Amino acid sequence: MMPAPIKPEVRAAILAHRTHGLSHRKILEQLFLSGMAASKGTVANVIRDFKWEQQGNVKSPKRLGNQCLPSVRLRTTIEKVRNLVGRPDPWTLTAISKKLGLSLTTVWRIIHKDLHGVLRHKTKTHALSDKMVEQRLQKGPRLLKHLQGRKLTNIVSIDEAWCYMSHVNGRRRVFYQFRGQQSLRSFLKYWRKKKPRGVMFVAGISWRGTTAFRFVPQHAKVNADFYINKVLRPIFRKDIPRLFGRARNMAVLHHDSAPAHKAKKTVQWLKLHGYKFIPESDWPANSPDLSPMDFSVNGIFKRRLWSRRARNLTGLMAAMRQEWKKIDLALCRRTMLGWEPRVKKMLENKGYQFQHLKSLSKSI
């Protein structure tokens, strides 16, 4: 919209008050007393233009844009843009602008005004083949039988995972720049090592709390023998009696389909000692979105490590032990309660990933 023109009587009054040496604020006060409406910007513009005229300068007329030209946002153009953005990997605005010979503003208006498009970020998920999807559909109902009712309170879910030096000493990607001050060069950049040093750990959760936190020795080969002697024996002899007490025989082990977990020797050892566990036939492989340690606790645990400081692996291991002790009973129970609904959501989505559906429903 064009600004309203300044009335001649207002302009004359401003210049008259200026000849008496009044400031802009005083001029505004006098105009108000005289019943004339004006802003501080109007006063400044009138005085500025008057000075220009006294110096012999002529104010050039305001250049208007192209008026009443035919719109380029035609139906055919809109359909072309729709085809370029309505795909899994949409074209960028710059690429569309170059291909169709349109301005970036026109492309933006077509997407947002004509097509009512909203830019969304994709949700990171794990890869699934058609065979894996079919397997998840077959095993999902059997897994649900282990999670329904009071059965859920007897499950101990364990997993191995890696922690690296990049999980501590967190550096933010932003900094503040202050006027008149030179920022340090260390403020201007951040980095992550390509192959940071790290350690593997084994831990688990249940309705009754967490298991002990155990480290896997460097260069150890995690095969069936190692898994039985260094993981399963301590859990069934120490952790489960501590968590379950006299009800230790009710405990049910859950682990994923890692080679050492589903090895024939491991399964035979569990059966020989009479330990209960969720068999491979009831657990869908390649399903971190259905494993409590993967979809909840490990992520929270590593985010908490971000603010910790460690110079070497010894410091990293100490920080990991301390943060694991902070995993409380409330978090364990919230995680376990979310397990069954996630399996149902997977089955509703025909075996495919479902995390992106949750984020999409929140944005609609």
pLDDT at 169: 84
Same domain, 96 and 138: no
> How many residues are there in the chain?
364
Same domain, 13 and 139: no
Same domain, 268 and 225: yes
* CB-CB neighbours of 272 under 10 Å: 8
> Roughly how many angstroms between the first and final C-alpha of the chain, as a whole number?
34
* Residue 281 in domain: yes
* Residue 271 in domain: yes
Q: How many domains does the chain have?
A: 3
Provide the CATH number for the domain around residue 208.
3.30.420.10
Same domain, 167 and 21: no
Q: What is the DSSP letter of 218?
A: T
- What are the C-alpha distances in Å from 150 to residues 174, 276, 346? 47, 15, 22
Same domain, 48 and 167: no
Q: What is the pTM of this model?
A: 0.70
Give the whole-angstrom CA distance, residue 276 versus residue 255. Answer: 12
Among residues 211, 161, 214, 199, the alpha carbon closest in space to that of 316 is found at: 199
Same domain, 271 and 354: yes
Same domain, 347 and 304: yes
Residue type at 118? V
Walking along the chain (364 residues) 10 residues at a time, the average pLDDT comes out as 74 86 86 84 87 77 67 89 92 93 93 90 85 94 93 96 89 73 69 81 97 94 95 97 95 95 96 95 92 94 93 95 96 96 93 71 38
* Contact (Cβ atoms closer than 8 angstroms) between residue 260 and residue 223: yes
Which residue segment(s) compose the domain that 208 sits in? 134-171+192-363
* Residue 223 in domain: yes
Give the whole-angstrom CA distance, residue 295 versus residue 328. Answer: 17
* Residue 342 in domain: yes
The residue ranges of DSSP E strands in the chain, in sequence order, are 155-164, 198-206, 209-210, 214-216, 252-254, 276-277
